[in-house]
Structure 1
């Protein structure tokens, strides 16, 4: 199996999902990721029990998608960075690492001695990667942010997804939505930085902000808004299908949804009419050319809407199987976890938890040599402290003294 990051050590001093999910991707790719957690408190995310009113774990079980998702494949070390006795351990880890990964704010980085200059003073060849809410410098460098604020709200998606006249702002659809997109972005930046270090001998810094990732995700509309000098009209799927009947969202008989996105309606219209059992529509004088179809798009959309509303989602899945035009079922998250294409390539992956039970996690979307990543569970709190410190050459007496001082757990 191709694990392109094998032999790369990543030292992660981060919590929650945004930056740790980057470490998870690198672990998927074969890196040895050592996660530093506070010696008493651990990653603050371990204390979260509900997200969007949904329990993130189970009674009497250590497995939690909230932790195992963005932390799978790592080793956990409990280290109290605020204690002077921890400095030697921290510096030894920095010396033996290729990447330093953090999302701590500037004041915390300065206090703990983990800002870029501090880390580079110990290891000038390390790739220093920082995930921020809004920016690595400037007036908001000290401002903390989560994906709900920096990515979703500030990054344009919340406004774009909220229809005109809505009573409430549309929330991001799932927990850690922007965090995981941002984590993948950081992982890609780290991979490029390691490649640059190999070619030039100089290790770059990597900076990624959640607002920047949000702007990148919405860049088409941001670029259009800048060109036109103002915010764009809100997207309305009903209006969209009124200008192209084969683009938009349609309801089925069992209150499910189908998304059609056939941007060349004239090309796909005849086969589509066959598939919905209305072949005569292809010869209808209102729709028998691409231009006529667009000129009478609202009428065609009403016909399509009525036809799709007459049968269930599963019936349309069967009817559209092999159709050339582009379409998809609007899946819920459970269906996505059983998606036949993701299952076929192994992206929904088995993981054995600490109690020996088989669980499942979504693998990162990048595969090498068309092979799925082999995942292992996330670490228990401070599970690997002794193991990692012994690899650094520390003996039992030194470990004991560090524990007595409260520097490690």
Structure 2
């Protein structure tokens, strides 16, 4: 089945996780994505081999594959005038120019908006930055840890007051991947506008903008109240006025998450499922006001009941529960989740299992292919540009391409 972006050509001049993950989403949607890497060193992300205790030996490397599946790679030295010429020739053939380079570097390498529009006036120019395209810090870089997680308000909001320091992101490229999906969506909207009006757009997404957007509800509440919304102390149940919203430990040390925002609607059903039917009509849990007043008692009831069985037992028993609940899963357990498998949210890409980008079209998951080896398609792409082998060898001899 063809993807919605089949026939769209994307030229990506970017590195690390954020902007390349936008290119990965576009590739999942059917676009042809050519990734420009430094002629000698490639994308620095290729050298990332250890995350916490996990060490990646050899290839393929999940640290590069997640954000680069389905692309083609060409190695170009943009500091070399002949290398810049190749980038411009590639831009002539592209519908989208995608970059993570800072303003000063875009000017230095001749890939800023005016430079690219000079060779392709209708190209969509998409930029991913750390802190946004305007303001005193627009030429400063950033990573998801700094710009998204910490500066965007996530870290402070998620860290309980009794924890020393700050809770860090749950894994590599957390904010990068979310921000990249935002950028891919902006590019898709720009393509629609271009098709309708003939007017190309400059699309901007920053790690900071995505972090602030992710915290939008919380920031609105904080602005309304005039104080930040703080995380509950470590070990707290969850909602202070609703026993059916929160985390509960099971007999085997796992956890269930309950999220029933209308407690009176679901209380009797929960009681039947935990083998406490006599509590279904308990007046303490008959109205929203009485539930709020007796939340502590409700939490104690549920902690005792849920702590009496294993997660596997609860998964079977709660299969008919009307209210929303979920097991708390780590990343390895997610791989075996039957709903994840049924919807093909994780798919094979060569030797690896990779997460599909979250949008599906016509009930079909995208086909995933491995990311390219460094500069693997350099000669192929140059031949497609019309160069002959003598010209390619001359570029190699000049150090303009890999």
TM-score normalized with structure 2 length? 0.97
Cα distance per residue 1:47-94 (max 9 Å; x no partner): 111122321x23xx4211111110000000000010011132111100
1:245 pairs with one of 243, 246, 253 = 243
Indicate the residue corresponding to 1:82 in structure 2.
79
RMSD: 1.3
CA distance in 1, matches of 2:101, 2:140: 11
Equivalent residues of 2:74, 2:381 under 8 A apart: yes
Where do 1:230-241 residues align within 5 Å? 230-235=227-232, 238=236, 240-241=238-239
Equivalent residues of 1:132, 1:210 under 8 A apart: yes
CA distance in 2, matches of 1:363, 1:164: 36
CA distance in 2, matches of 1:230, 1:283: 39
Equivalent residues of 2:62, 2:352 under 8 A apart: no
Cα distance per residue 1:20-56 (max 9 Å; x no partner): 000000000000000000000100111111122321x
1:271 pairs with one of 255, 263, 269 = 269
Equivalent residues of 2:244, 2:263 under 8 A apart: yes
User: Residues 364 and 235 of structure 1: is their aligned pair in 2 closer, same or farther, counting only changes over 3 Å?
Assistant: same
Equivalent residues of 1:2, 1:368 under 8 A apart: no
Indicate the residue corresponding to 1:339 in structure 2.
337
Indicate the residue corresponding to 1:24 in structure 2.
24
Deviation, 1:2, is 3.6
CA distance in 1, matches of 2:196, 2:79: 36
Indicate the residue corresponding to 1:320 in structure 2.
318
CA distance in 2, matches of 1:233, 1:166: 12
How many residues end up aligned between the 2 structures? Answer: 401
Deviation, 1:146, is 0.2
- Runs of 4+ residues deviating >6 angstroms: none
Deviation, 1:338, is 2.0
Equivalent residues of 1:160, 1:235 under 8 A apart: no
Is residue 369 from structure 1 mapped to residue 366 from structure 2 by the alignment? no
CA distance in 2, matches of 1:164, 1:360: 37
Equivalent residues of 2:237, 2:247 under 8 A apart: no
CA distance in 2, matches of 1:241, 1:108: 48
Equivalent residues of 1:27, 1:72 under 8 A apart: yes
Where do 1:134-149 residues align within 5 Å? 134-149=131-146
Indicate the residue corresponding to 1:355 in structure 2.
none
Deviation, 1:185, is 0.3
CA distance in 1, matches of 2:266, 2:48: 49
Equivalent residues of 1:21, 1:179 under 8 A apart: yes
CA distance in 1, matches of 2:143, 2:243: 38
Is residue 405 from structure 1 mapped to residue 402 from structure 2 by the alignment? no
Is residue 298 from structure 1 mapped to residue 296 from structure 2 by the alignment? yes
Deviation, 1:291, is 3.6
Indicate the residue corresponding to 1:104 in structure 2.
101
CA distance in 1, matches of 2:162, 2:296: 23
CA distance in 2, matches of 1:242, 1:157: 21
Is residue 34 from structure 1 mapped to residue 51 from structure 2 by the alignment? no
Deviation, 1:162, is 0.7
Indicate the residue corresponding to 2:168 in structure 1.
171
CA distance in 2, matches of 1:293, 1:227: 26
CA distance in 1, matches of 2:110, 2:344: 41
Indicate the residue corresponding to 2:12 in structure 1.
12
2:383 pairs with one of 390, 393, 409 = 390
Higher mean C-alpha displacement, 240-249 vs 188-197: 240-249
Is residue 95 from structure 1 mapped to residue 102 from structure 2 by the alignment? no
Deviation, 1:252, is 0.9
Indicate the residue corresponding to 2:113 in structure 1.
116
| Runs of at least 5 residues in structure 1 that lack an aligned partner in the other structure | 353-357
Equivalent residues of 1:251, 1:308 under 8 A apart: yes
Indicate the residue corresponding to 2:253 in structure 1.
255
Equivalent residues of 2:158, 2:230 under 8 A apart: no
Higher mean C-alpha displacement, 156-165 vs 239-248: 239-248
